[in-house]
Structure formats: structure tokens, C-alpha cells
Structure 1
Amino acid sequence: MRFQNKIAIVTGGGSGMGKEVATRFVAEGGSVVINGRNGLKAEAAAREIDPTGTRVAVYTGDVSLPATGEALVKTALDRFGRLDMLFNNAGIFAPKPFLEVTEQEYDHFLDNILKGTFFTAQAAAKAMKAAGRGGAIVQTGSMWALQAIGATPSSAYSAAKAGVHALVKNLAIELAADKIRVNAIAPAVIETPVYDTFLTPEQVKEVLPTFNTFHPLGRNGQVADVAEALLFLASDQASFITGVVLPVDGGVMAGRQ
């Protein structure tokens, strides 16, 4: 199994892509610390992932606070004795026209996406460097950081995710000597609970299918599609890959039909 005896942190691990990554990581032999702001949701996810409770730990906290990243690393070391991988997956999404975005909303995107990713990666990299075994950091970027989509105006979100993409290349160079690889994925429309945060259940059922044809492959992405890419980049199968932002987008970045 690819992750036998490996230890990972998964931010945003209580649902959606993060939960799927944590589930598959454990299924392939690893143990995880999952994080989320909703403690009840994270605890429920942990019980689903590993009913024995031996291979999943939970730390509830806001990743926009650097102390949360430090606490996640401490939890991994205290509970499992090491840290091999970080899946920086936590984030938010809510389209809004540029001319209507407030300073508070702008700060909210930057804090939750870019600041959270930066300082959680910093805490993890410090632990990996101190252990001397190397490691892998995989960030969740976004197709919206590569191109704009008129139907979903997302200037603040896109700017924050573009920062995540830039961070990947900088960290890949800075941490290469310590054998810490840093990569990211850039997903297109993935059917996750994030849409429930700004759409009603009825709107989700109506709106999401309209994006199927936006992707040249003819369908929206699923959490399994994203998880496979994230796990590949973290695994030894990608041992010669660092500094890459991999589109997981059904062909969107290739062009239009």
C-alpha cells in the first residue's frame, strides 16, 4: 500500500475533497489528523473513516490562525510520532461581482485560503525538516486562479488561490534541499458540499448540472477525481515531481469544444 505507516494532516478534512483524501489515505495504510472549523462534523467524519479511532485524530480550529497549523503538527507528532504529508485543502468559495466585494469579504478569502495555506505549510515543513526524512505538501489550488469564468465572478477567491499557486513554486525551490516536495492541483467544478454554503439545496440541484458541458469531458468533477490526483502527488509515484500545479479540470484549460 502506498501510504503504509505514513502520517498526514488533512485540513478541511471533515467533508468533501478533504474527507475523501483522508478516507483513501487510511485505506492505503496511513493515519491522519483531520481539521475543520466544525468539530461535530470532523468527529463524525473521523468515525466514518476509522471506526476503531486508532488511525484518525481530530483537531478543530480555524486554519487562518497560524496557531492552528502549529497545533495540527503537534497533534500529529504527539499522537502518531511523525509527519510525512500535508494536504492543505481547507478553503471557502462564494462568487460575487468585483464591484460588490467588501474589504471584510476580501480579507476573509485571503485569510482562509492564502494565509491559512502559508502558515500551515510552514509549520509542517519545519517538522519535516527537523525529522530529516523529507515529505510532501500538496495544496488545493483552483482553475479560477488560472482563468476567469464569467458565470462565477470570483476576483477575491481567484487572487487568493493564485497566491497558493505562486507559493507552490517558491516552496518547491526553498524546500528541495530538505527533500520536501510541494505541488498543487487546480480543480474545475467539483461536486462538493461547498456549494451548499451559498446555494439552497434546490439551487444546487438546478445549477450544478448546467456546468457539465463547461468541461470538455462532459461532466463535473467528483471528489474521487480530486482525491486521486492529490494522493498521487503525495505518493512516491511522484517522487520526481515538485513545483507543479496540476489541472484536474476535465479539459477546461486545454480549450473549448
Structure 2
Amino acid sequence: MNTLQRVAIITGASQGIGAALVTAYRELGYAVVATSRSIGKSSDPGVLTVQGDVAVPGTGARIVDAALARFGRIDTLVNNAGVFVAKPFTAYTDADYDFVAGVNLRGFFEVSRSAVAAMLSRDGGGHVVNISTSLVEHASSQSPSALASLTKGGIDAVTRALAIEYAAHGIRVNTVALGVISTPMHPPETHEALAKLHPLGRMGEIDDVVQAIVYLEDAAFVTGEILHVDGGQSAGH
């Protein structure tokens, strides 16, 4: 183990944006702790995989403990795990609320609390990056999704709160607020309509998100930022 090697935890890392972030952080020279409910083992000695549901109390501490046991430190946490359920507000069920709040809020709280504590335990600071949605600031009648706004709005707010709380400790906290990203969750037949939701006239790509997070990783003077990667959606339409 190289105790000088930087270490990143990435949640929701088994597919899509999360899997791409594992590759990107390895290319930056980081060791990576990749976690999701269904992630398999990695053949890369610089990648530790940890199965777990971040909505379950205790999972965050277990992930962080595994990271410290294997790599000895935590420099970055990317809270990529998240869920999106689009329904009219009155159609949401109690199960929908528990599911969305569990992953988006409890999941953030679980892993971030333990990761920030680990960052505070040594000199050198750290970085927390969250994933949100531009719907928090730019609601759309074409995509009713109040639970996304309720939970991810909390993420936007806590980003600013923690950025200020821990600035003196050298810990930065930022968020990337997304438009609609082309991932397997969107069937191909929906792409044309989804592209029209963005002034740039296309859906976002996974690489667009990865590039934004890599920028924030290197942007040592940026904290408390909500960086929109949404094709202009949050600016107007």
C-alpha cells in the first residue's frame, strides 16, 4: 500500500456514470473504492469493490472502514448513487418516498458523514462531489418529479453548508447538477424528445459528466459550487 496515493470512493459505481468515474479516477492516479448494491470484484489491485445499499444505516461506515483498511486514507468521495422516479406528485406512494429519500438523502448522509470524518483525521483536506439535477432550479411541466426536487434540493443546500463548515479544514464540497444524460435507463425511442429539453438540442453524455467532475477535482479554489451540466437547461428554454 502506498500511503501517499490519493484515494477516491465512488458510489453507484457498477454502471453508467459511476463505472466511468472509476476509470477516470484510476487514470488520474487514484486508488478507488467502488461501491454499489450489485458490484462484482475487480481484477485491478488499485480498485476495491464493496457491495452495499447506501440507504441502509451502517453501510457508509462499512465502506469507509474498508477503504481505510485497504488504502489508509480517503481524499475524495463522489456521491454518484441516486434514483429518479418521475410521477405526478399525488401519484407518489409511501414506498416511492422511502426509496427516493433513502438513496438520495440517507445514502448521501451515510457515506459522507464517515468519509468527512476520515478526511478530518489527517492533514491534507479532501473533496466531496455530489450529483444533483437542474430540475431543482428549473422545474419542467414535461417531467413532473417533485421527489427529485425535494431530495436533490437538499443536496444542493447541504453542499453550500458543508463547504462553509469545512473550508478551514481544506475540505471542498461541490455538486454537479445534471440535465438528462444518455444512459441505459433511457430507452432509445425517448432520446429525440429528451434532447429537446435542452437548449443545446441534445442529451448529455456520460463523458460530459466525468469531465465536469474531473474539473472540480483539479479546481482547488472552487467549493460550494453547483456546476450545471445540462445543455443550458437551467438558464432557460
TM-score, length-normalised on structure 1?
0.87
1:141-160 correspondence to structure 2 within 5 Å: 141-160=132-151
Q: Which residue of 2 aligns with 1:120?
A: 111
Deviation sequence 1:59-118 (CA, Å, 0-9, x none)? 111111231111111111111111100000101112111011112211211111011112
Q: Residue 226 of structure 2 corresponds to which residue in structure 1?
A: 245
Q: Match of 1:66, SS?
A: coil
Superposition map of 1:218-257 within 5 A: 218-235=201-218, 238-256=219-237
SS in 1 for 2:110: helix
Q: Which runs of 4+ in 1 moved over 6 A?
A: none
1:213 and 1:102 mapped to 2: Cα distance?
Answer: 29
The one-letter amino acid paired with 1:77 is L
Whether the 8 Å CA contact 2:85–2:147 is kept in 1: the answer is no
Q: Provide the secondary structure at the position in 1 that maps to 2:119.
A: helix
Structure 1 segments unaligned to the other structure (5+ residues): 196-203
The residue number in structure 1 matching 2:30 is 30
- 122-131 vs 102-111, greater mean Cα deviation: 102-111
Amino acid in the other structure paired with 1:190 = I
Offset of residue 185 of structure 1 = 0.6
Q: Deviations over 1:133-153 (max 9, x none)?
A: 100000001112222122221
8 Å CA contact 2:85, 2:100 repeated in 1? no
Q: In the alignment, which residue of structure 2 is the partner of 1:198?
A: none
C-alpha separation in 1, matches of 2:192 and 2:62: 39
Query: 1:19, 1:146 → 2: CA distance?
Result: 27
**Residue identity in the other structure for 2:215:** F
Q: Is contact 1:219-1:250 (8 Å) kept?
A: yes
Per mean C-alpha deviation after superposition, the further-off stretch among 213-222 and 5-14 is 213-222
Alpha carbons 1:34, 1:57 under 8 Å: kept: yes
Which residue of structure 2 aligns with residue 200 of structure 1? none
Q: Distance in 1 between matches of 2:201 and 2:96?
A: 33
Superposition map of 1:92-103 within 5 A: 92-103=83-94
Query: Distance in 2 between the 1:25 and 1:253 partners?
Result: 28
Distance 1:76 1:231 in 2: 21
Q: Do the aligned partners of 2:125 and 2:170 also contact (CA within 8 Å) in 1?
A: yes
**Rounded Cα–Cα distance in structure 2 between residues aligned with 1:67 and 1:9:** 16
Residues in 2 aligned to 1:114 and 1:22: alpha-carbon distance in whole angstroms: 22
Matching of residues 60-71 of structure 1 within 5 Å: 60-71=51-62
* Larger helix fraction of residues: 1
Contact 1:118 1:167 survives alignment (8 Å): no
SS in 2 for 1:123: helix
**Which residue is 1:6 aligned to?**
6
Amino acid at match of 1:206: E
1:147 is paired with a residue of what secondary structure? coil
- Within-5 A mapping of 1:152-231: 152-195=143-186, 204-231=187-214
Please tell me the residue identity of whatever aligns with 1:118: F
Instruction: Specify the alignment match of 1:55 in structure 2.
Output: 46
Letter in 1 for 2:168: A
Q: CA RMSD in A?
A: 1.4
Summarize deviations over 1:112-134 as a string: whole Å, max 9, x none.
Answer: 10111122111100000011210
Aligned to 1:132: 123
